[in-house]
Amino acid sequence: MTDFTRTKSLFAIPDGVIYLDGNSLGPLPAAAADRVGRMISEEWGKHLIKGWNVAGWMTQPRRVGDRIGRLIGAADGTVVVGDTLSIKVYQALASALELNPSRRVILSDSGNFPSDLYIASGLLETLGRGYELKVVDPEDVEDAIDETIAVLMLTEVDYRTGRLHDMSTLTRRAHAAGALTVWDLAHSAGAIPVDLKGAEADFAVGCTYKYLNAGPGAPAFIYVAPKHADTARPALSGWMGHHAPFAFDLDYRAGPGIERMRVGTPPIIAMAALDAALDVWDGVSMTDVRHASIALADLFIREVERRCPELTLASPRDAKRRGSQASFRHPDGYAIMQALIARDVIGDFRAPDMMRFGFTPLYIGEAEVRAAVDVLADVLTNRRWDTADYRKKGLVT
């Protein structure tokens, strides 16, 4: 059994704060600041450029990738870390399209994170040649998979509502129709059990600053199934993905396996924070995390609906159909969320009317959930949200 009392002690959450926004940015692992500081002073400071060899910086993207792989059902040597999620989406999608050259349609859904759709649209504009991005409602994805689809590109958990796609079922359906799959795990990795190998997913990508708690702007990861690892051509053929980066050949030769999906120089300082954040997961069972997060979200939903009837549940009621968050709608959702944040209950808002609350048992328990509902009920009952200051939108919502 996972000891969630132990994991809670590993985070530096300010006293009095109930943090329900790990689905957007995870809190600071207590060990991260020291780890980054030691990397700067002991490795960079003392070794200088020698750190690439003596401190293992050059191989860190693979080593850290393997640590993430354990949490997403990926075998060692199939995940690498570096660059941003947008870059990794571009890489995965471009490679998948090249592996299915007789087809021209990418299928996605309206619940996908808009950035993924932007990346897809930009790539297809560059390619031209009749490529098309087809976007359907989330409920219609399975029926829309047919013999015209080259790539199915989905975010497993809807960033707004928490709606959960069935990765295994949709991947099987895609493969039966001759399509490849690209799964975005931004709201899955560290939140729910993922089995990329068992689902036979072709490509997967994800960020590390949400449920993996690696900090703002932390590097992303990419997974390539072993059957594609030595044939997928990296569209972004950067020097770190070269077969021999320090041979400085003028012609590009893709590196072996997942190494070819490296692009630029890895962000070693940020990766030190990620490595420290992953220490929290040692001894943690994703099955335990899932059971606990469902219990917390179900409790929150029941209590909110009992005490705050003016809010409308936007997430699936069935826990098996949602990730690790619960979302509620209200016309003044933004102002309500600002009033909550001012009282140290931190969730977030997504346009046009969605309040999101994430439930991460690594640092949230039943007591925090009940206390959060107490504050929410007070904010609504006494209209504490109805001020000009709370209606004024910031740059980040």
Q: Find the mean pLDDT for residues 317-340.
A: 98
The dihedral over CA atoms of 220, 221, 222, 226, expressed in degrees to the nearest 10, equals 170
Q: Which residues are catalytic?
A: 113, 184, 209-210, 356
Best CA proximity match to 244, nearest among 229, 260, 220, 233: 260
Note if the bond before 361 is cis, omega within 30 degrees.
no
For the stretch 115-147, pLDDT in tens is 999 999 999 999 988 999 999 999 999 999 999
Whole-number pLDDT of residue 255 = 95
Instruction: Residue 53: count other Cβ atoms within 10 Å of its Cβ.
Output: 11
How far are the Cα atoms of 162, 199, 347 from residue 318, in angstroms, in the given order? 11, 22, 21
pTM: 0.96
pLDDT of residue 397 exceeding 90: no
* pLDDT tens-digit series, residues 338-391: 999 999 999 999 999 999 999 999 999 999 999 999 999 999 999 999 999 999
Residue 201: the pLDDT is 98
Please compute the mean of the pLDDT values over residues 79-87 and round it to a whole number.
97
Tokens 């009392």 correspond to 5
Is residue 174 over pLDDT 90?
A: yes
Q: Which residue has the tokens 């809010």?
A: 311
pLDDT digits (tens, 9 = 90+) for 200-217: 999 999 999 999 999 999
Q: What is the pLDDT of residue 2?
A: 96
Q: Is the pLDDT of residue 396 over 90?
A: no
Buried b (16+ CB within 10 A) or exposed e, 3-28: ebeebeebbebeeeebbbbbbbbbbb
Angstrom CA distances, 328 to 310, 317, 333, 349, stand at 10, 11, 8, 10
Per residue in 227-275, pLDDT tens? 999 999 999 999 999 999 999 999 999 999 999 999 999 999 999 999 9
Q: What is the mean pLDDT of residues 159-188?
A: 98
3-class secondary structure, 235: coil
